[in-house]
């Protein structure tokens, strides 16, 4: 693996709050080793926001769990994760617990499973507060819990503080999770698909609450999502993951306006858009590769219209394209300048010949009969 | 309501709902309530869940009508009730001179050839124990059309939806989500239907896969002149596939308009909030947008608000109306009629707003 850190290197080191370098995660299974994360590196500066996008199975959530030290014992984790200069990999669980919540907080996708159903939401917030501030008395902790619930936009926080998770809607529960995440003023918030389970109008409210939480705490944000729209509006930089690696990273503008990796191009071209008419979408044919026994070469090659022989032999490293923070892992990134998805991908739909034959076979209107 | 007479007289067209030809499917005042039972040993009916309340629309030949709404809006119930998979509490669904709500299972069956459905979850909607060939052939067998040429017919259907016909002897679990949804589409096409109801056909799929299924559906619709009732929660998908879009909120239609107009100049505050809430995959536009946001969550459909059901979350109601103006929202159910904006909208104070 030749992958190293791929952030903005010329910024003074002191600004980095989270540095991930050459992170690998492997899961041994009966069929062999699943290499879920294969050398992921990023760097997050204080107060900055990074979006990690990718489809199911790209390794984006596993990366986050590895950073938090939350993977099961069977997972083999390699590489380096530094929080404010301290190496987290290999740290004891007790030491990690001191950091979780106060240093790095995490927001999960499903608030019903991340909240404890047998305790009130107030109890769960004060528990987090008292874990990191043992001297805090109950009354102060409760007052702070009410305040936090108010901050994330829960109406009637004095009442809701005594509610159990099942008494709240999905949106309200996710607000409680955000309140817990911001309770101890973390430096980094990692949000893993925080709005995926929610309706759009509620999603908008939750994203707003997340912005409030960041504004209050000054926390940097790692936002993991499959929704490119959410990333466009809420992050400064974006990393696109595919088959356990970052295949393109850059500023949001770089990624959305001048993508240099065919996969990114394909993703953007396959999105139906609310703000414009598109004649055809450009789907990416095929499926992502199995991370068990991954063949050599570029993992995207089997689905890539630009594939050439080199692609099957060597996996391209993440190399700079254009001005600094923009990197792409494609042998032919240079050729993708000023290229749109429709120049690269086919707009395949139905099989034209089969469609014509099917149309011929369709009998014109026959009157409906009462019996078969 | 008389249920004995299946032949239904032609219904008057809905004013302003668009379309010039004869509608294929006419839905009028469709109501579906589900009983709410008490807990305990003796379960009594203690109330009704108002899933669908007085929904009317026309589906024309060779068009895709989008039905959009958030969870609990009743859009899936409309889809199922239209096909008589759920029995309507009241209202009429007229297809080719027949009132479907008056038909029992036996009399419904011949019509099912022409009215097909594709379900949301490609993992749950395909039988895991039979081969894909059998899954696609099943409608042919049920309707007595599995003749000598049927094997080839099934292969042809698989080819049509972009699958390798050689894979017919495989089982559903051997296919990816996108491929399974294609199998579901092939099954729906097997009997050469006229109308296909698509219930969230792409919401379980990753975007790169979703795009292929959408292209396939659009080809089928336009080349075969099918009528699609396309149910989805994703407005961007709707904008792309539908000619007209109907927006549902808590069991009622609140606005119906040609897709382009609906998204360019929504008139109902709920539609405006929906359009506002969709994040655009364009950083500059996304940062510069003005948003109309709603507060709170969808109220319970067991005890929906009086008058306009959206008033409890409506930004217009909360911020721009006087107390006397609000009386109408509380007391009067707003009718779905053209209020000067060109398209039917169910809001007493509808006003077209440009958001994109």
When pLDDT is averaged across residues B288-297 and rounded to a whole number, the result is 84
| Cβ within 8 Å, pair B214-A208 | no
Percent of chain A clearing pLDDT 70 (strictly above): 94
A302: closest CA of chain B, how far (Å): 14
Number of other residues whose CB lies within 10 A of the CB of residue B157: 26
A80: closest CA of chain B, how far (Å): 30
A21: closest CA of chain B, how far (Å): 28
Measured CA to CA, the distance from residue A179 to residue A174 in angstroms comes to: 9
CB contact set of A264 (below 8 Å; sequence gap of 6+): A240, A247, A248, A255
CB contact set of A97 (below 8 Å; sequence gap of 6+): A131
CB contact set of A13 (below 8 Å; sequence gap of 6+): none
Measured CA to CA, the distance from residue A220 to residue A17 in angstroms comes to: 8
Which residue from B minimizes the CA distance to A200? B277
| Cβ within 8 Å, pair B207-A169 | no
Considering only the beta carbons, identify the residue of B71, B210, B286 that sits closest to A270: B210
Residue B20 has pLDDT above 70, yes or no: no
Distance of alpha carbon B268 from the chain centroid = 19
Which residue from B minimizes the CA distance to A228? B281
| Cβ within 8 Å, pair A358-B224 | yes
**Pairing, β B98-99 against β B90-95:** antiparallel
pLDDT of residue A14: 57
**Pairing, β A76-83 against β A16-29:** antiparallel
| Cβ within 8 Å, pair B283-A368 | no
- Which DSSP string corresponds to A144-176? HHHHHHHHTT-SSHHHHTT--GGGS-HHHHHHH
Distance of alpha carbon B130 from the chain centroid = 29
Which residue from A minimizes the CA distance to B189? A358
Burial class (CB in 10 A: 0-12, 13-18, 19+), A104: buried
* Residues within 8 A of A (CB atoms), B 186-225 only: 189, 192, 206-216, 218-220, 223-224
| Cβ within 8 Å, pair A371-B291 | no
CB contact set of B322 (below 8 Å; sequence gap of 6+): none
The phi, psi pair for A21, rounded to 5°, reads: -135, 120
Measured CA to CA, the distance from residue B243 to residue B17 in angstroms comes to: 12
Considering only the beta carbons, identify the residue of A266, A268, A281 that sits closest to B281: A268
The secondary structure of residue B9, as a DSSP letter, is P
The answer to whether B179 touches B164, Cβ cutoff 8 Å, is no
Considering only the beta carbons, identify the residue of B70, B143, B287 that sits closest to A233: B287
Q: B28 in helix, strand or coil?
A: strand
Which residue from B minimizes the CA distance to A367? B96
| Cβ within 8 Å, pair B273-A201 | yes
| Cβ within 8 Å, pair A252-B283 | yes
Residue B19 has pLDDT above 70, yes or no: no
Q: B139 in helix, strand or coil?
A: helix
| Cβ within 8 Å, pair A172-B297 | yes
Q: How far is CA A185 from CA A81, A219, B130, B234, B332, in A?
A: 21, 8, 55, 35, 48
Alpha helices in A69-156 (DSSP H): 93-99, 111-114, 121-132, 138-151
* Residues within 8 A of A (CB atoms), B 140-169 only: 143-144, 156-157, 159-162
pLDDT of residue B5: 45
B24: closest CA of chain A, how far (Å): 12
The answer to whether B133 touches B90, Cβ cutoff 8 Å, is no
Report the range of poorest mean pLDDT among A11-25, A210-224, A310-324. Answer: A11-25
Number of other residues whose CB lies within 10 A of the CB of residue A305: 14
| Residues recorded for chain B | 356
A330: closest CA of chain B, how far (Å): 19
Q: How far is CA B329 from CA B252, B313, B318, in A?
A: 15, 12, 11
Residue A368 has pLDDT above 70, yes or no: no
Which residue from B minimizes the CA distance to A372? B110
Considering only the beta carbons, identify the residue of B192, B276, B285 that sits closest to A363: B192
Considering only the beta carbons, identify the residue of B216, B241, B294 that sits closest to A350: B216
Residue A2 has pLDDT above 80, yes or no: no
Number of other residues whose CB lies within 10 A of the CB of residue B335: 12
Q: Which residue has the higher pLDDT, A10 or B247?
A: B247
Chain B environment of A272 (Cβ under 8 Å): 211, 214, 234, 236-237, 239-241
3-state SS track over A62-77: HHHHHHHCCCCCCCEE
Closest CA to B209 of A5, A235, A303, A121: A303
pLDDT of residue B15: 64
Which residues are A33's β-sheet partners? Answer: A28
Which residues are B253's β-sheet partners? Answer: B248
Distance of alpha carbon A240 from the chain centroid = 9
pLDDT of residue A3: 38
Q: How confident is the model at residue B3 (pLDDT cuts 50, 70, 90)?
A: very low
pLDDT of residue A12: 45
The answer to whether B253 touches B308, Cβ cutoff 8 Å, is no
Chain A environment of B278 (Cβ under 8 Å): 200, 229, 274
Measured CA to CA, the distance from residue A133 to residue A136 in angstroms comes to: 6
pLDDT per residue as tens digits for the range B78-130:
999 999 999 999 999 999 889 999 999 999 999 999 999 999 888 889 999 99
Chain A touched by B240 (CB under 8 Å): yes
Q: Which residue has the higher pLDDT, B351 or A5?
A: B351
Distance of alpha carbon A355 from the chain centroid = 39
pLDDT per residue as tens digits for the range A241-299:
999 999 999 999 999 999 999 999 999 999 999 988 877 899 998 889 999 988 899 99
User: Which residue of A236, A251, A350, A371 to mutate against B (max B Cβ within 10 Å)?
Assistant: A350
| Cβ within 8 Å, pair A229-B279 | yes
A99: closest CA of chain B, how far (Å): 33
Distance of alpha carbon A13 from the chain centroid = 25
pLDDT of residue A9: 43
Domain B23-36+46-264, CATH number (from 3.40.190.10, 3.40.50.12160, 3.40.50.300, 3.40.1280.10): 3.40.50.300
The phi, psi pair for A308, rounded to 5°, reads: -130, 180
* Max Cα distance, chain B (Å): 72
Q: How confident is the model at residue A235 (pLDDT cuts 50, 70, 90)?
A: very high
CA angle A313, A316, A322 (to 5 degrees): 150
Measured CA to CA, the distance from residue A95 to residue A93 in angstroms comes to: 5
Q: Write out the residue limits of the CATH 3.40.50.300 domain(s) in chain B.
A: 23-36+46-264
Percent of chain A clearing pLDDT 90 (strictly above): 73
Number of other residues whose CB lies within 10 A of the CB of residue A147: 13
Q: How confident is the model at residue B248 (pLDDT cuts 50, 70, 90)?
A: very high
Considering only the beta carbons, identify the residue of B107, B234, B284 that sits closest to A370: B107
Distance of alpha carbon B312 from the chain centroid = 25
User: Which residue of B73, B187, B268, B279 to mutate against A (max A Cβ within 10 Å)?
Assistant: B279
| Cβ within 8 Å, pair B207-A270 | yes
Q: What is the mean pLDDT of chain B?
A: 91
| Cβ within 8 Å, pair A172-B98 | no
Measured CA to CA, the distance from residue A9 to residue A19 in angstroms comes to: 11
Which residue from B minimizes the CA distance to A277? B240
| Cβ within 8 Å, pair B208-A267 | yes
Q: B107 in helix, strand or coil?
A: helix
Torsion of CA B294, B69, A281, A245, to 10 degrees: 60
Number of other residues whose CB lies within 10 A of the CB of residue B43: 10
Number of other residues whose CB lies within 10 A of the CB of residue A35: 20
Tell me the ipTM for this assembly. Answer: 0.87
Assigned token pair, A272: 């139906």
- Which DSSP string corresponds to B198-211? EESTTTTS-HHHHH
pLDDT of residue B7: 52
| Cβ within 8 Å, pair A349-B212 | yes
The secondary structure of residue B93, as a DSSP letter, is E
3-state SS track over A208-236: HHHHHHHHHHCCEEEEEECCHHHHHHHCC
Measured CA to CA, the distance from residue A177 to residue A183 in angstroms comes to: 10
Residue B230 has pLDDT above 50, yes or no: yes
Q: Which residue has the higher pLDDT, A324 or A250?
A: A250
| Cβ within 8 Å, pair A229-B235 | no
When pLDDT is averaged across residues A2-7 and rounded to a whole number, the result is 42
When pLDDT is averaged across residues A25-46 and rounded to a whole number, the result is 95
Is the CA virtual torsion B302, B308, B312, B314 positive or negative? positive
Assigned token pair, A310: 């080199």
Q: A274 in helix, strand or coil?
A: coil
With tokens 């696109």, the residue in question is A240
| Cβ within 8 Å, pair B162-A351 | yes
The answer to whether B115 touches B27, Cβ cutoff 8 Å, is no
pLDDT of residue A196: 86
Chain A environment of B123 (Cβ under 8 Å): none
| Cβ within 8 Å, pair B212-A256 | no
pLDDT per residue as tens digits for the range A167-190:
998 889 999 999 999 999 999 999
Report the range of poorest mean pLDDT among B41-45, B230-234, B326-330, B338-342. Answer: B41-45
Closest CA to A249 of A325, A323, A315, A301: A325
Chain A touched by B239 (CB under 8 Å): yes
């Amino acid at each position: 693996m030749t992958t190293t850190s791929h952030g903005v290197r010329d910024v003074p080191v002191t600004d980095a709050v989270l540095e991930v370098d050459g992170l690998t995660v492997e899961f041994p299974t009966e069929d062999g080793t699943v290499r879920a994360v294969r050398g992921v590196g990023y760097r997050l500066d204080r107060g900055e926001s990074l979006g990690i996008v990718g489809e199911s199975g790209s390794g984006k959530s596993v990366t986050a769990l590895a950073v938090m030290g939350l993977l099961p014992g069977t997972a083999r984790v390699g590489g380096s994760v530094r929080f404010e200069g301290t190496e987290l990999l290999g740290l004891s669980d007790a030491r990690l617990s001191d950091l979780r919540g106060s240093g790095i907080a995490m927001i999960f996708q499903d608030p019903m499973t991340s909240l404890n159903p047998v305790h009130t939401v107030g109890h769960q917030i004060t528990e987090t507060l008292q874990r990191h501030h043992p001297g805090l008395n109950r009354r102060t902790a409760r007052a702070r819990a009410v305040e936090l619930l108010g901050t994330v936009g829960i109406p009637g926080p004095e009442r809701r503080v005594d509610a159990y998770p099942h008494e709240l809607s999905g949106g309200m529960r996710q607000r409680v999770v955000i309140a817990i995440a911001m309770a101890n003023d973390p430096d980094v918030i990692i949000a893993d698909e925080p709005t995926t389970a929610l309706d759009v109008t509620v999603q908008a409210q939750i994203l707003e609450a997340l912005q409030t939480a960041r504004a209050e705490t000054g926390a940097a944000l790692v936002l993991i999502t499959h929704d490119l729209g959410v990333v466009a509006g809420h992050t400064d930089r974006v990393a696109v993951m595919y088959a356990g690696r970052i295949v393109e990273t850059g500023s949001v503008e770089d990624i959305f306006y001048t993508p240099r990796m065919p996969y990114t191009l394909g993703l953007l071209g396959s999105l139906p858009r609310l703000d414009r008419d598109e004649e055809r979408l450009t789907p990416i044919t095929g499926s992502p590769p199995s991370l068990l026994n991954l063949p050599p070469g570029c993992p995207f090659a089997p689905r890539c219209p630009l594939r050439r022989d080199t692609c099957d032999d060597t996996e391209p490293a993440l190399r700079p394209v254009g001005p600094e923070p923009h990197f792409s892992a494609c042998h032919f990134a240079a050729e993708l300048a000023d290229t749109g998805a429709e120049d690269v991908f086919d707009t395949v739909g139905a099989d034209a010949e089969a469609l014509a034959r099917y149309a011929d076979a369709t009998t014109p209107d026959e009157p409906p009969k009462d019996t078969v | 309501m008389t249920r004995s007479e299946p032949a239904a007289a032609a219904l008057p067209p809905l004013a302003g709902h668009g379309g010039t030809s004869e509608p294929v499917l006419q839905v009028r005042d469709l109501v579906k309530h589900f009983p709410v039972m008490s807990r305990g040993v003796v379960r009594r009916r203690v109330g009704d869940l108002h899933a669908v309340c007085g929904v009317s629309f026309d589906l024309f030949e060779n068009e895709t009508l989008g039905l959009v709404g958030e969870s609990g809006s009743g859009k899936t119930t409309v889809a199922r009730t239209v096909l008589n998979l759920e029995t309507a509490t009241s209202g009429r669904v007229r297809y080719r001179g027949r009132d479907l709500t008056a038909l029992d299972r036996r009399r419904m069956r011949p019509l099912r050839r022409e009215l097909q459905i594709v379900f949301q979850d490609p993992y749950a909607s395909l039988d895991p124990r039979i081969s894909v060939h059998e899954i696609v052939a099943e409608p042919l067998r049920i309707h007595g059309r599995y003749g000598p040429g049927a094997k080839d017919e099934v292969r042809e259907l698989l080819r049509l939806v972009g699958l390798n016909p050689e894979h017919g002897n495989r089982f559903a679990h051997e296919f990816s989500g996108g491929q399974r949804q294609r199998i579901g589409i092939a099954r729906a096409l097997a009997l050469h239907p006229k109308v296909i109801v698509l219930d969230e056909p792409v919401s379980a799929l990753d975007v790169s896969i979703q795009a292929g299924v959408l292209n396939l559906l659009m080809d089928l619709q336009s080349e075969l002149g099918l009528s699609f009732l396309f149910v989805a929660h994703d407005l961007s998908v709707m904008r792309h596939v539908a000619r007209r879009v109907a927006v549902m909120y808590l069991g009622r239609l609140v606005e119906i308009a040609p897709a382009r107009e609906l998204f360019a100049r929504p008139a109902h505050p709920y539609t405006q909030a929906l359009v506002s809430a969709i994040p655009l995959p364009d950083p500059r536009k996304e940062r510069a947008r003005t948003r109309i946001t709603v507060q709170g969550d969808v109220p319970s459909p067991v005890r929906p608000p009086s008058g306009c059901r959206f008033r409890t979350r409506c930004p217009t109601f909360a911020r721009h109306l006087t107390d006397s103006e609000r009386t109408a929202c509380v007391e009067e159910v707003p009718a779905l009629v053209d209020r000067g904006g060109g398209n039917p909208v169910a809001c007493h104070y509808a006003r077209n707003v440009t958001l994109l």
